[in-house]
Structure formats: structure tokens, C-alpha cells
């Protein structure tokens, strides 16, 4: 099996046997974690309608900025999903929590990790995303700090303080 056929959620299954049927609506997510995996995959595949439609109805959907969500989806390079913890959220449950990290590179080429506790609720037998609690990340500098009088890393030949460091 080629890597390109693997589901972006990291399950090890193919996209066709994992998240695609959930995203396309031919089957419901059986657990909160499977819905979380499908939501992550939707960002990778730019399936914005699924992201919106898998949210709990009402105010939550009204708060979603579709254009900003689509822009974030398309302008990011998605590197992977790591499920850190699950509580409840099984087929027999009505609520669940999935703690996860989604790693990506944004349009400014900065490597980011979105760390969230995502809360899910089963409504009429269907899992929906209820709310997320985003965890702040500690930023760790890679490499040495650029001094004001050092050459600018952009390659202009100017000192950092006279170029990008203003």
C-alpha cells in the first residue's frame, strides 16, 4: 500500500476504509475518537462542510468563520495527528473527550502544534463536536538567538536591526 493511500489521521488504514466514509456521509463515526480523526482529516483534505456539519447545532455552528477555517486548512501543511488521551466516547456513551495534538506548518513556515481537549456529545445517535479547550504551547527556539548586529538571516546582507529586526 502506498503512503499516499494511507488516511491522514494516522490510523494506518487507507483513507477509503477509515475517514472517507465518515466525511462523505456514507457512515456515522462510531466513537468520539473516530469523529476527531475524521475532523482532522477534513482539514488535510479541505472538507470544510464536514468540519462545520460535525459540530453541535446552534450557536457553535454560527460562531464558525467558514472562510477563515478554509483558509487555515488550505494554507497549512498538515503533518500528523497524535491522540494523547480519550475519556468515554465509546459506542455506548453519550459524551466523550479526546485530547489530541495536530502538527502543521503554517503559511509563515512556522511549525505549530494545536493541542486541544475536544469534547463530543452524541445527539440522536450521532457523535458531534461540542467544544474545544485549546492548550497553550510553550515555544522553544530552535537554534541560537539572532543578535541585533548579526547579519540578517533573510540574506539581504544588512544587519538584522536594519532589516527584518525592525
Give the residue, 141 or 137, on which the prediction is more confident: 137
CB count, 10 Å around CB of 127? 27
Q: What DSSP string describes the chain?
A: --GGGB-TTSSSSBTTTTTHHHHHTSS--SSHHHHHHHHHHHHHHT-HHHHHHTBPTTHHHHT--HHHHHHHHHHSEEEEEEEEEEEE-STT-SEEEEEEEEEEE-TT--EEEEEEEEEEEEETTEEEEEEEEEEP------SPPPPTTSBPTTSSSSBGGGTTT-
CB count, 10 Å around CB of 7? 22
pLDDT (tens digit, 9 = 90+) per residue, 25-56?
A: 999 999 999 999 999 999 999 999 999 999 98
Question: Residue 23's pLDDT is what?
Answer: 98
* Domains of the chain, earliest start first: 15-135 (3.10.450.50)
Is this prediction's pTM over 0.85?
no
Question: Residue 78's pLDDT is what?
Answer: 95
Amino acid at each position: 500500500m502506498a503512503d499516499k493511500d494511507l488516511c491522514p489521521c494516522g490510523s494506518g488504514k487507507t483513507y477509503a476504509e477509515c475517514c472517507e466514509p465518515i466525511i462523505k456521509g456514507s457512515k456515522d463515526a462510531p466513537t468520539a475518537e473516530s469523529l476527531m480523526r475524521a475532523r482532522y482529516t477534513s482539514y488535510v483534505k479541505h472538507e470544510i462542510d464536514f468540519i462545520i456539519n460535525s459540530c453541535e447545532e446552534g450557536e457553535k455552528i454560527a460562531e464558525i468563520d467558514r472562510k477563515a477555517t478554509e483558509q487555515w486548512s488550505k494554507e497549512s501543511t498538515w503533518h500528523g495527528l497524535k491522540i494523547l488521551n480519550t475519556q468515554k466516547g465509546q459506542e455506548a456513551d453519550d459524551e466523550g473527550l479526546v485530547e489530541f495534538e495536530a502538527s502543521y506548518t503554517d503559511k509563515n513556515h512556522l511549525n505549530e502544534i494545536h493541542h486541544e481537549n475536544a469534547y463530543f456529545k452524541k445527539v440522536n445517535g450521532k457523535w458531534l463536536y461540542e467544544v474545544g479547550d485549546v492548550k497553550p504551547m510553550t515555544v522553544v527556539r530552535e537554534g541560537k538567538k539572532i543578535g541585533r548586529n548579526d547579519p540578517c538571516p533573510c540574506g539581504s546582507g544588512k544587519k538584522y536591526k536594519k532589516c527584518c529586526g525592525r
